Amino acid sequence: MTSIETKSVQTANMKERTIQPKVMPVYQTSAFSFSSLEELEGYYEGNGTYLYSRTANPNTDALGQTVAELENAPKGVAASSGMSAILAGILAVVQTGDHVLAAEDVYGGTFHLLKEELVRMGITVHFADFSSVSEIEQILIDYPEVKLVFSESITNPFLRVEDIEVLSQLKKHYGVSVMIDNTFATPYTITPFALGADLVVHSATKYLGGHSDVTAGVLTGTAELIDEAEKRIVNMGMNLSPFEAWLTIRGIKTLALRMQAQTANAHAIARFLEGKAKVWYPGKGAIVTFELPETMDVARFFSALGWIKIVPTLAGVETTVSYPYATSHRALSEEEKIKVGVTRQVIRLSAGIEGTEDILQQLTAAFE
């Protein structure tokens, strides 16, 4: 009789796989098995798909493909976080000695990556006011080493809507690639690839996942550049776990429904704030940024928000607020914060899916 030690290890592996699940299962495995050495060799000859989950897994592949479909892009790849996906996208285009041109008003974490970490790799980064096409072009003229132009479809935290078509036209004249972070807008609002971008990146932690229970990133774009990015993700260990990919795909199924409700609430919140604070809201998306008057105590305001939580992130189904001065843009110097407008009175609100009147009641109490 087979021993209990062997039974406990091997019984589940011997069960016949005849089940047809309604949704994709989680392939929570570190590696995949082969029935023979010939089959193993076939993998390396291109006749197999999966070997080791760091290199590929059905769940992470499905996430990349799903977001590529949403973005109308040929191919996508998942990564361990939004920052991992950004780094992989950048390194798919540039190498030591090349230059990157980026919008000066990008997310603070991205700003830090570009300014501090890329320098260690011998990559030079220029920041510019992307609302000025002449400033962008002057840098491209002065520095022909620029290979990549980077911005956000809706910037963080002041919600400037990027003119992606204008940036994409630069490709023809200066031979650069264009990469857009579409986290705030999501494909529900904007599809940058269709507007000419070469790469589109998401912090899937935010709206794609949607429920504040996953950390993930996704990069989509041309097949050639995604192939290059995928190599960086594999070689640098930036791969996403199968379960995190499965959770993100589950979240994506309700993306459109959530964005409808959250955007409607953001519209109502922006209208409510008029006359009470300086408001930034572009009429699209679910983020509202506002600056309290100097006469108001920002700490007391935060404390009076009741069930509206203070968090350093965004995009969950709950309405939340964040404090860019001390979180997302904390690493910036005082001069850099002043330049991009991040003062001690600036608050970024992420609209959730609660009842509109309930959200406004909480804000009213805080202002009072």
Instruction: List domains and CATH numbers for the chain.
Output: 37-252 (3.40.640.10), 256-367 (3.90.1150.10)
Tokens of 198: 């070469």
In eight-state DSSP terms, residue 35 is S
Measure the CA–CA gap between 37 and 96, rounded to whole angstroms. 40
CB 90 within 8 A of CB 150: yes
Torsion of Cα atoms, 240 then 104 then 123 then 329, to 10°:
-50
User: Cis bond leading into 157, ω under 30°?
Assistant: yes
Question: CA separation (Å) from 192 to 170, 248, 250, 353?
Answer: 15, 21, 23, 26
**Total residues found in the chain within this entry:** 368
Contacts of residue 69, Cβ cutoff 8 Å, sequence gap at least 6: none
Secondary structure of residue 113 in the 3-state scheme = helix
| pLDDT bracket for residue 12 (50, 70, 90) | confident
CB 225 within 8 A of CB 198: yes
Measure the CA–CA gap between 243 and 241, rounded to whole angstroms. 6
pLDDT tens for 62-105 read: 999 999 999 999 999 999 999 999 999 999 999 999 999 999 99
| pLDDT bracket for residue 1 (50, 70, 90) | low
Tokens of 109: 């974490």
pTM: 0.94
pLDDT tens for 266-309 read: 999 999 999 999 999 999 999 999 999 999 999 999 999 999 99
What are the backbone angles phi and psi of residue 200, rounded to the nearest 5°? -130, 125
